[in-house]
Amino acid sequence: MFLKGVNDSVENLVDLMTRLTRIGVNPYYLYQCMPVSRVRHHFQVPLKRGVDIVAEAKSHLDGYAKRFKFIMGHDIGKIEICGRKDDLLVMSQIHYRPEYPEEASRILMGRLTENAGWLEDLDLVQ
């Protein structure tokens, strides 16, 4: 889980992923904190800041430590947060609900704001 004030720095993320691989754990997912009412802004790292932290951390990691995916466990399925270009966030739906097979492997793009922390906070680009 990616949490504000806990592991939301490049140094902390590099240390975490390095230590996990050192003890034989292959880091797989780094979850964006869900928008829980009343504590959302206390724990959630804004996506714009989070995607930059993850990209910078991965540039300092090697091998298995950099293979983790930054994701949102959303109602529509798991969404990988791939990166950004300026204020455009690029995401890929990596898992989907069985009743919506057409959503498999779709690419999503949304406009970021400074405080956007979840899919619904983004203005999705068609």
Q: Going residue by residue through the chain, which has 126 residues, state the pLDDT in tens, using 9 for 90 and above.
A: 999 999 999 999 999 999 999 999 999 999 999 988 887 888 999 999 999 999 999 999 999 999 999 999 888 889 999 999 999 999 999 988 888 778 788 999 999 999 999 999 999 997
Predicted TM-score (pTM) of this structure: 0.91
Provide the pLDDT for residue 117: 95
Provide the pLDDT for residue 114: 93
Q: For residues 82 and 110, is the Cβ–Cβ distance under 8 A?
A: no
Provide the pLDDT for residue 3: 94
Closest by CA position to 71, among listed 111, 108, 123? 108
DSSP H or E segment with residue 19: helix 10-22
Cα–Cα distance, 63 to 20 (Å, whole number): 12
